Structure 1
Amino acid sequence: METNGTPDTAPPSRPGPGRARQDAIYRSGVSGIRPRVPTDAAGLERAARRALSRKAWAYINGSAGEGRTYDNNRSAFDSYRILPRMAHGVKDRSLSTTVLGQELSSPLLLAPVGAGALVHPDSDLMIARAAGRADVPYVVSNQGSSPLEDIAAACRNARNPDKSREYAGHWFQLYWSTDEQLVDNLIARAEDSGAGALVVTLDTTVLGWRPQDLNLGSLPFSRGQGIAQYTSDNRFLRIVRQRLRDHVSGGTGGVRVTPAAVASLLSIARHHPGPTLRNLLAPEPRASVETFLDIYSNPGLDWDLLATLTQRTSLPVVFKGILHPDDAERAFEVGADAIIVSNHGGRQVDGAVASLDALVEIRERIGEGPTVLLDSGIRTGRDVAVAVALGADAVLLGRPHMYGLAVAGEQGVREVVENVLADLDLTMALVGAPDIAGLRQMELRRSAPGPSRVSARRQL
C-alpha cells in the first residue's frame, strides 16, 4: 500500500561503521567495560604520554622549534565550521574511494612514522597487522624498525578475509640518500614487496630543530632504532663494510664512556640483525649507525633528480611535503602521479603554514583533476570530512595511530582507526553525505579560530 506515492515500508538501512562502533562500546558499557583506548583525541594523547618513556614521547609528540606549526595545523582545522543539512533522507553511506587507481575502503591511510621501536621493537609489524585488519593502507617508513619485506608480509597476512575488494596493502616512503645505488635498491625492494606507490619525502633533507629531542640529547637512530630498512639492504651493508676497510669514521664525534653510552651500545647491538652478543663485539653495528647518519638523506635533492624517477620505477610516484602551489605544479610537471600536502606534522619548520591552508591554495591553483592527499593535523573523523570537503582525495593519520600503539599495541592501532572511521561515518550521516563525492559538497564556513586548545598539549 502506498500513500501519496510513498511506500509505507522501506528496506532496512545497513548500520555503518559509526553505529556499529557505538553499539559495540555501549553494549560493553552495560557490563562496566570502558574502552581501553580513549575515543577523544585529547584523552588518547594523555593516555599515550602516560604509557611512553620521556624519549619516546619527545620524538613522537615533539615538534620543530616552539611548536607553532603544530598549533597552526590544529587552528586551521578549528577555524572551519560545518553547516549540516536536514531532512536529507540519507540512510546508507559508503566511505569507499579510489586513489591512484586503487580501490580503498575509506579515504584514510596510516602515515609513515620512523623509529617506532621507541614504542615497541615490532612496532611496524603490529601497525601493519592492524592496518590489514582495518582495511586501510599503511605507508611503510624508510626509517622503520623492521625490514620492508617483513612489514609487507604482515600487511598481506592480516588482510580481512571478509573484504571483497583487493586490499591496497602498503605504500613505501623513500628518503633520498646521498648514494644513488642505495636509492635504486630501495625502489626495487618497494616494487618487489608489492607496494601500491612510492612516496618520496621532500621536506627532510636535514632534520629540523627539535628542542624536545635536543633537550634530552636523544636521537633514536644513533641508538640503532629505525634503521632496519638500511641494515637489511645489501647495498647499504656494502657501503658500511667498505668504510670499515677504509677506516672511515662517522660524523658523530667522540663518545665518552658512561652508563648511557653503554646502554646505547647495547641498543645498537639489539637492533642490528644477528645475535646481540656477537653484535656487541663486532664493529659493523656501530659503523652502520654512523653510515646511516652520514648518508640517509640528500640535502642536494632537486627537481632534476626527482624527474629521474619516471625512468627508475614503475610504481605510482607521490611527492610528500608540498606546501607551495608553485611546487605542486612543478611536482606534476616532473612526473608525480600525486602529491601529499604536508608540513611533516610540524616537525621540520617552526611557524610554517598549516597543511590544510596550503591544501586550499594548491587546489585553487591546480584544479580538481590531480590527485592530492593531506597529511598533518588529522586527529578525528570530523577532520577527515573537512579535509575531503576542501579538496583532499585522501588523508594520512600520523601521531594518533602511534598513540594507539603505545596504549594498547596492535589492538590500540586498530581501535584508533575504527574510531576515526566511525566519527567520519556519523559526520556524513548527520550532514547528509551518502558517499565521498557527496562529502566533497559539504558546506563549510570559516571564522577566526577561538583560543587554541592544542597549546595545552605541552602540559599534558
Structure 2
Amino acid sequence: MSDPKSGFLREIYIGGLTGQRPQTTDLKLLEQQAREKLSPEAYAYVAGSASTETTARANLAEFEKWAIVPRMLRSTTLADFTSPTRLFGRDYPTPLIIAPMGVQAQLHPQADIATASAAAELQIPYTHSSAASRPLEAVYEQARFEENESDAWFQLYWPTDDELTESLLKRAKKAGYRVLVVTLDTWQLGWRPRDLDQAYNPFLTGEGVANVFSDPVFVEKYCDGKSPLAPTATKDDITSASVAAISQLSPGVSRSWSELALLRKLWGDGPIVLKGIQSVPDAARAIQAGMDGVWVSNHGGRQVDGAVASLRQLHSISEYVRGIEVEEGKERPTVIFDSGVRTGANVMVALCLGADAVAVGRPWAWGLAVNGQEGVTSVLKTILADFELNSALAGFQSSTQFSKAALVRTDAPL
C-alpha cells in the first residue's frame, strides 16, 4: 500500500478538532497573503511577467481549454493510488519538481534553504537556481538531501566565461547535484514593467548572486581576488561585483546549439535537460545534440510577451520524444513541463498530455513568503493531495493510466 498524499485532507480535519487551522489551501488567497507581507518590489518581481503579461495569462487560460472526463465504478482505491515517475534513470514517488527561482531572500530570510529543505523532506526534486540567494554548497548540505534520500538539480544561467561555467559545474557536481538544467531563454532579461516602473533590479545590490560571488574563478578574475562576500567588502566592491555577475548570467548574447558539446564535456555523463523548449524542431535538436531531456517552459511568461502557452505545445513535443527509438538498455529522453501550474488538476492535465513530471514555481514562492519552510511544505502537500484526490475521483488508480484520452478540449465543437 502506498503512502497516500491525500491524507493531508484528513490531517487538516483532525487538526480542526483541537482548534488547529492550516495555512490556507486556497492558493489564490495565499498569494494575496504573501502580497500583504512582502515589499511592493518583491511581490512585483515574483508576480510580474513580460510586457503586457499576455503570455502569463495564456498559460493559465490554456489549462481551462482542457477538461477531464471522469469515469465511474472502476474499483478505484484511494489508499492504493500511486503516481510514480522515472526521471533520468531514477524513480520518484510523485511527479512534482521544484522549479528554479532566484532571489528567494526577498521572500523570506531562510531563502533557498527553506525551499530545498521542504522539497527534500517530501522527496520532491529541488532545482537550485544560478540566481540563488545562498551558495549551492550550503543549500545542498543544510537541506540534507542525502539523509532524506532526495535529489537536487542545478540550474545554469550559462555564463559567457567558459572558465566560470566550468567552475560552477564542478562545484555543483562535487556538492551532489545530479541533473544539470540549462535555462535557454534568459540570456537577456525580458521587458518587465512591474520591475521597471520601480527601477527594481535586486542583482545590482548583490542579491541573487550568491553562487557567483562564492565562486573562486569569479572572485579571482572579476574582483581582483577580493571576495564581495567578505566582511571588509565595501558597497562599491559589491556593486562592481554585481555588475560583473549580471554581465555573465544575462549577457545579452544567446549561446548556440553547437556549444552544447562544451556543456557535455564539462558536466560529464550526468543528465542534462534543456529548459525553455517550445517547439518540436527545438526538441529534436536537443535530443540530436545528446541531451537527456527537454523542459517545456516559457519561463512562466516572464521573457517573451505574446508567446504561445507552454501547455499548447506540450503534447506535440511529448509525442515526438516518446516516438524516438532508443538503443536497448537505454531510456528515452525525459519531458518536464512548467508554466501556469496552480492546482492538482493542472498537474493531471499536463501528465495526460505527455509530461513525465511537472514543475511548480510561483505557488510555493507565496508559501515561502508567508511562512518559510513550513509554508513551502504546506503548498506542496496541498498540490499533491489535490492532485491525488482529483485523479482518483476521476477514476484512475495510478498516474500511469493517464493519457490524452482522459481529456476533451472545451473549445472544440461537440
Structure-2-length-normalised TM-score: 0.92
- Higher gyration radius (CA): 1
Q: 1:56 to 1:313 in 2, by over 3 A?
A: same
Q: Kindly indicate whether the alpha-carbon contact (under 8 Å) linking 2:353 and 2:404 is maintained by their aligned counterparts in 1.
A: no
Letter in 1 for 2:265: Q
1:122 to 110, 114, 133: 110
User: What secondary structure is seen at the aligned counterpart in 2 of 1:17?
Assistant: coil
| CA–CA separation in structure 2 for the residues paired with 1:63 and 1:334 | 31
1:428 pairs, out of 391, 394, 400, with 391
Post-superposition Cα deviations, 1:50-88, rounded to whole Å, max 9, x if no partner, equal 121101101111100111011000011111100011011
Contact 1:135 1:159 in 2 (8 A): no
Contact 2:301/2:339 (CA < 8 Å) preserved in 1? yes
Q: Secondary structure, in 3 states, of the residue corresponding to 1:363?
A: helix
Is the Cα contact below 8 Å between 1:63 and 1:210 reproduced in 2?
A: yes
Q: How does 1:304-319 map to 2 (within 5 A)?
A: 304-314=258-268, 315-319=270-274
Say yes or no: does 1:185 pair with 2:167: yes
> How far did 1:39 drift?
0.8
Give distance in 1, aligned partners of 2:136 and 2:398. 33
Alignment check: 8 A CA contact 2:167 2:217 kept: yes
Q: Deviations over 1:232-260 (max 9, x none)?
A: 1001111223499xxxxxxxxxxxxxxxx
Aligned AA (2:73): A
Q: Which residue of 223, 234, 240 maps to 1:287?
A: 240
Residues 445-456 of structure 1 aligned to structure 2 (within 5 Å): 445-448=408-411
Gaps of 5+ in 1: 1-12, 161-165, 245-268, 450-460
Superposition RMSD in Å: 2.0
* Paired position in structure 1 for 2:376: 413
In structure 2, C-alpha distance between the alignment counterparts of 1:420 and 1:346, rounded to whole Å: 21
One-letter amino acid matched to 1:310: R
Greater than 4 Å deviation, 4+ residue runs:
157-160
The one-letter amino acid paired with 2:351 is V
* Matches of 1:378 and 1:241, distance apart in 2: 40
CA deviation string 1:379-437 (max 9, x = no partner): 11111111000000001100011100011111000000000100111112112222221
Q: 2 CA distance for matches of 1:77 and 1:125?
A: 31
Q: 2:58 aligns with which of 65, 72, 84?
A: 72
Q: 1:85 aligns with which of 60, 68, 71?
A: 71
Match of 1:273 among 229, 233, 238: 229
1:274–1:184 Cα change, 3 Å: same
Superposed, which structure 2 residues align to 1:7-26 within 5 Å? 16-18=4-6, 20-26=7-13
> What is the CA deviation profile of residues 193-250 of structure 1, one whole-angstrom value per residue up to 9, with x for unaligned ones?
1112000000011000000000000001011110000011001111223499xxxxxx
State the TM-score, normalizing by the size of structure 1.
0.83
Contact (CA 8 Å) 1:48, 1:407: kept in 2 or not? Answer: yes
Give the corresponding residue for 1:199: 181
> Which amino acid in structure 2 is aligned with residue 182 of structure 1?
L
Residue aligning to 1:30:
17
Identity of aligned residues (%): 40
2:285 is aligned to 330
Q: Aligned pair 1:396/2:359, yes or no? A: yes
| Aligned pairs for 1:113-152 within 5 A | 113-152=101-140
The equivalent residue for 1:385 is 348
Q: Deviations over 1:94-143 (max 9, x none)?
A: 12221111111211010110111111233001111111112111100000
Aligned partners of 1:15, 1:316: CA distance in 2, in Å? 28
In structure 2, C-alpha distance between the alignment counterparts of 1:370 and 1:294, rounded to whole Å: 32
Match of 2:8, as an amino acid? R
Q: Secondary structure at the match of 1:320?
A: strand
- State the SS of the aligned residue for 2:243: helix
